Amino acid sequence: MTEFEIIRRYFTGRGTRRADVVVGIGDDGAVVQVPSDSDLVTVVDTLVAGVHFPPETHPADIAYKALAVNLSDMAAMGATPAWATLAVSLPQADEAWLEAFAQGFFQLAERYGVQLIGGDTTRGPLTITVQVQGTVPTGGAVRRAGARPGDLVYVTGNLGDAGLALQAWRQQRPLPHPHGDDLVARLHRPTPRCEEGAALRGLATAMIDISDGLTADLAHLLEASGVGATLDVEAIPLSASFRACAGDEGLTQEQRLRLALTAGDDYELCFTAPAAQRHRVEQVFARFASGCHVVGAIEERPGLRLKQGDGSLLRLSGGYDHFNTVPQGDGA
């Protein structure tokens, strides 16, 4: 198969068709119409086999996650995704692999109304780069900077599911059914919180998605905002599947918290909003299955403090940084 046959067979004319796409796959560049009352938001993420996923990961899951992590970044800006480009470097043109890959990609793209409008196809080590573009009403993007003392800290969904699945995979121990399957699905197919992120425009003062672990990602938000925070570790939301598997694995409370706070890969949103707006936040989330929980409060004092049930502070290290293998401090 030539490069052009791959593009035509697996990527052209599939999935969402948007009315605002003037030129899609097949020309030197894609052309889209951006509404005049909107800002354009762009995100890009690369997944490298052996670094971001095991090479033997199912191709549908690889594609799904490559798109999902970008949609999660869009969500964290409060943006609505619209268009995607896909650059793939493939060791060989394996038809079954490519079809499964395309199927995983378009399944998620259709769910969010995103159209694939271009890309690049080359031979090389397995690497997937996805770029997503979308819009927010002019001036409406939610930034990392903006958290103020008196804000509450929220997270959507549950934390630690993906981390526990990854830990079990690394130790080559299958997790028990059916809860283990839930956790593995959370690792391979994270649900981007796009509707939630968009609904938080004008309400959240700052927002970030949790890719590297809550403590590491919240630390970025705090630094950008020039504030600190105290988290109530007892308030960290853990799923029923996480609790069941952690119980079977005999994990201590500290090991559970370490996963939930530092393991990452959950792709939930962490955001802040004034305490006085708590009712509004709850109203917004009444319509979302993901739910959201208050996990702490913003303070003037810099750094991140983790308060336990007895009032003492917990010290943890963790959070993933590709260029720094030294464990990250908790910012305290």
Q: Are 140 and 197 in contact (CB under 8 A)?
A: no
Please answer whether residues 171 and 300 qualify as being in contact, where contact means their C-beta atoms are separated by less than 8 angstroms: no
Point out which residues pair with 298 in neighbouring strands: 229
Residue from 5, 120, 248, 254 that binds ligand ADP (CB under 6 A)? 120
Residue 11's binding partner out of ligand ADP, Mg ion, none, with CB under 5 to 8 Å set by partner kind: ligand ADP
Q: Are 57 and 6 in contact (CB under 8 A)?
A: no
Structure tokens at 111: 């769910």
Map the footprint of Mg ion across residues 223-252, applying CB under 5 A: none
Number of neighbours of residue 14 by Cβ within 10 angstroms: 17
Q: Which two tokens stand for residue 19?
A: 């009315």
Candidates 21-29, 141-149, 247-255, 298-306; binding stretch for ligand ADP (CB under 6 A): 21-29
Question: Of the ranges 22-30, 203-211, 212-220, 227-235, which one interacts with ligand ADP (CB under 6 A)?
Answer: 22-30
The answer to whether 276 touches 205, Cβ cutoff 8 Å, is no
Residues 264, 81, 52, CA angle at the centre, nearest 5°? 30
Choose from Mg ion, ligand ADP, none: what does 300 bind? Cβ within 5-8 Å by kind: none
With respect to ligand ADP, which residue has the nearer C-beta, 119 or 140?
119
Binding mask 77-116 for ligand ADP (x = CB under 6 A): ---------x-x---------------------------x
Is residue 28 close enough to count as binding Mg ion by CB under 5 A? yes
Query: Which residue lies nearer to ligand ADP by CB, 27 or 321?
Result: 27
| Binder of residue 128, out of Mg ion, ligand ADP, none (CB less than 5 to 8 A by kind) | none
User: CB-side exposure of 139: number of CA atoms within 13 Å?
Assistant: 1
Q: Which of 1, 16, 39, 119 binds ligand ADP (CB under 6 A)?
A: 119
CB of 25 to ligand ADP, least distance (A): 4
Smaller CB distance to ligand ADP: residue 128 or 245?
A: 128
Classify the C-alpha dihedral 136-26-88-11 as positive or negative.
positive
Residue 18 has phi, psi (to 5 degrees) of -100, 145
Helices and strands, number each (H, E), in the chain: 10, 12
Separation of alpha carbons 21 and 40, rounded Å: 14
Nearest residue to 86 via CA among 133, 35, 31, 32: 133
Binding partner of 149, given Mg ion, ligand ADP, none, CB within 5-8 angstroms per partner class: none
The amino acid that residue 27 corresponds to is D
Nearest CB to Mg ion, comparing residues 121 and 225 = 121
Nearest to 270 by CA among 330, 220, 331, 327: 220
Query: Quick one: which of 15, 78, 81, 118 contacts ligand ADP (CB under 6 A)?
Result: 118
56 contributes a contact to Mg ion by CB under 5 A = no
State which residue, 129 or 156, has the beta carbon closest to Mg ion: 129
Query: In the complex with ligand ADP, which residue's Cβ is closer, 100 or 221?
Result: 100
**Which residues of the chain form contacts with Mg ion (CB under 5 A)?**
28
**Which residues of the chain form contacts with ligand ADP (CB under 6 A)?**
7, 11, 25-28, 86, 88, 116, 118-121
